[in-house]
Amino acid sequence: MKTWLTRCLVGGLLASSPALAQDDDDPYAYPEDEPGPTQQQIDEEEAAEYRRRFTDQAEEFRRVSEQEGEDGDFKALAGMDDPNKGFAVELLAGALLLSSPQGRFANTTVGLGVRATWEYGRILNIEPLREALWADVRWTFGGESDGTQFIKAGYTYHYFTIAPAYELKFGKSDFGVFGQVGGGITYVTSYVSVDNKETQVNGIKPVMQYGLGLRGRPKLTRDGNLRLALRLEAIGFRRGYLNDFFLGGSVGVAF
């Protein structure tokens, strides 16, 4: 009986299939154990984002350019990133060559003055004309006297002028050559003194100003908009049939 029962148990064990581990029995994977994106994948995603933004900007520029021709509402932006206002104030000094009533070449005296400059080309918002068109409001004066203790005479000329100018820049530098033509008035004061008894004669005459020169506006600071205003010039003042000339320069500040 025992032998038969033992044989039945052994046969049942041999006939049964072995119990194997199934896929459902794999260990649970936690989120921190999962692999993250590689550096190559990150670089590729950043490059794709950059290409997308560049394409969007190019499309926007194309659309705005087409509007300029179709709708005519494209606005020039030449002055939006320019920190300068286009104003300058300068002190001037030089030689004033006055037409001589004595038949000489000229009566030379010291000429002094002050001037204010406005670059009105900036309001046109046209890039080639922004610094090429400007105008001066100028006061120049000079005079002389001669004689003895008993009798002497003297005169002074005051030129008040407004003169627009056009400047040709030296490439992209801060220097250029200019020509200008304008007009104004000349206020003349003269006197004759005899034995300390003085007689004065004053008057006003129209005057035309014209001339050529070299102008510069180098920066004083790297980040600011303050500049050094420099100028060398040969300026003529025509009053009636007489021509006076100013040969000199000026220095000041521009902003």
Segment 136-168, tens digit of pLDDT: 999 999 988 888 888 888 889 999 999 999 999
Q: Is residue 197 part of a domain?
A: no
What confidence tier does 33 reach under pLDDT thresholds 50, 70, 90? Answer: low
Best-predicted range by mean pLDDT (1-5, 151-155, 233-237) = 233-237
Q: Is residue 173 part of a domain?
A: yes
Residue 20, helix vs strand vs coil: coil
Q: Is residue 250 part of a domain?
A: yes
Predicted model pTM: 0.67
Q: Is residue 186 part of a domain?
A: no
Yes or no: say if 202 and 190 are a contact pair by the CB < 8 Å rule. yes
Residue 221, helix vs strand vs coil: coil
Q: Which two tokens stand for residue 254?
A: 């521009």
**Best CA proximity match to 144, nearest among 190, 179, 181, 112:** 190
Q: Is residue 170 part of a domain?
A: yes
Q: Is residue 55 part of a domain?
A: no
> What total number of domains does the chain contain?
1
Tell me the HSE value of 172 on the side-chain side, using a 13 A CA sphere: 0
